[in-house]
A and B are shown apart, each in its own frame.
Chain A
Amino acid sequence: MNIDSIYNGIVLDHITAGKSMQIYQDLSLDKLDCSVAIIKNVKSRKRGRKDIIKIDQEYSVNLDVLGYIDPEITVSIIKDGKTIEKKKVELPEQLVNILKCKNPRCITTTEQGIDHIFRLADPATRTYRCIYCEEDRKIK
């Protein structure tokens, strides 16, 4: 299967197989009016299978969202047909308005219009805590 190379845009590579649709939705890529290619189950030497997303325009990607969904992803910025920058994403220190606290006693359940903020408590177990009530959330 052939997918055209992009000239100016972004390639999200090494996505864990099966996670590309979640990334498509969480980054709201459906709202872009350029070509977006989702390539699933590509053979990978390192990981057996992987997904790839190609976005055919300049786009400021939210690395925190990517790091939260899948810290294995690499982001390549393409300009004039050449890779000008490659970034590895990491588990972000802080997640803003990505998770919502499930603790019914937390102030975020009643206060409107505030940022829902989680801080990384333990990278080994991928555990975040709500900054307000400290309820934990383990990221699968």
Chain B
Amino acid sequence: MRHLIDPMDLSVEEIDGLLKLANEIIAHPEKYSEVCHGKKLATLFFEPSTRTRLSFEAAMMELGGNVLGFSSADSSSATKGESVHDTVQVVGCYADIIAMRHPKEGAPLLASLKSPVPIINAGDGGHYHPTQTLTDLLTIQREKGKLGNLTIGFCGDLMFGRTVHSLIKALSRYDNIRYILISPPELRIPDYIRVEILEKKNIPYMEVESMEQVISELDILYMTRVQRERFFNEADYVRLKDTYILDTDKLKSAKSDLSILHPLPRVNEISTKVDDDPRACYFRQALNGKYVRMALIMTMLGLIPG
């Protein structure tokens, strides 16, 4: 049985296949409206979410399937002390596939060791978020027409930004990607990405603190939120939360075909005035998330038509 825990669980060919299928769904959604009839997706969200949970649920509904689950640990038996182990074994009796988000890193991997049905990691703490990565890859492919030969700037919280870790890891297998990592020193990428991915694969990257210094070089700017929920110390969060704010002034020196991505939710890091700029892709990105999750659910359930 296949699970999706780490973005590297999918080969480049499998990712290409998922993106192709997502594009096919976008072009002909009616062909897929009953593919998952009679199947159930359980969304086990031990941590709050809007986009990821709702896009998983919308994806399953548009495939003709059903959805069950919970949207916070407070409304599950986790409050009674039930383990992740036990929860997935029970839910596996009721559902055909599980999407799990958990604040603790490694929880979906642990779940996959016991689950009788496929587990999809829908975000584990500050670790990985592989379905956001598929969303980001689909968005880059649709906006840029390619997944290689790009200079990508990641900006904000690169320490706890699980979407950043997952996307850097996934893109490390494509040709000629250059990373510019923009963050305060306290929020630089963790060693398991810097050492294990960038340095081991000799991928060019630079770490800077100023967005203005590098924005003109970027083909893609991937903005992230400084996440209050990842800090043990509120004072650190307050000090760092508004380090980067992308506004129309800063965009003046950016390329005319820059693509601005953000996994959302946004707080202050992108001015709402940027939303009207055609370079802002983040709402299209959110929509892409539903289609790529449709492709993933179908694939993991072995239900691809034809």
Residues of A participating in the B interface, judged by any CB pair closer than 8 Å:
103-114, 121, 129-136
- Say if the beta carbon of B107 comes within 8 Å of chain A: yes
- Say if the beta carbon of B110 comes within 8 Å of chain A: yes
| Contact count A vs B, C-beta below 8 Å | 57
Cβ of A137 to closest chain B Cβ, rounded Å: 12
Chain B contacts for A129, CB-based, 8 A: 192
Who on chain A is nearest to B111 by CB?
A107
Evaluate contact between B196 and A132: CB separation under 8 angstroms: no
- Size of the chain B interface, CB-CB below 8 angstroms: 21
CA distance A98 to B126 in the complex (A): 25
Residues of B participating in the A interface, judged by any CB pair closer than 8 Å:
83-85, 102-107, 109-110, 124-127, 190-192, 196, 230, 232
CA distance A114 to B126 in the complex (A): 21
Evaluate contact between A107 and B102: CB separation under 8 angstroms: yes
17 A-B residue contacts at CB 8 Å? Answer: A105-B125, A105-B126, A105-B230, A106-B104, A107-B84, A107-B105, A107-B107, A109-B104, A113-B85, A114-B110, A121-B196, A131-B106, A132-B105, A134-B127, A134-B190, A135-B192, A136-B191
Q: A121-B196, A132-B110 are in contact. Are A110 and B104 (CB under 8 A)?
A: yes
Chain A contacts for B127, CB-based, 8 A: 105, 133-134
Chain A contacts for B110, CB-based, 8 A: 107, 111, 114, 132
Chain B contacts for A109, CB-based, 8 A: 104
Q: A105-B125, A131-B106, A133-B105 are in contact. Are A114 and B85 (CB under 8 A)?
A: yes
Evaluate contact between A132 and B106: CB separation under 8 angstroms: yes
Chain A contacts for B190, CB-based, 8 A: 134
Cβ of A74 to closest chain B Cβ, rounded Å: 32
Which residue of the partner chain, among B85, B103, B124, B125, contacts A111 with CB atoms under 8 Å? B85
Evaluate contact between A107 and B106: CB separation under 8 angstroms: yes
Who on chain A is nearest to B6 by CB?
A134
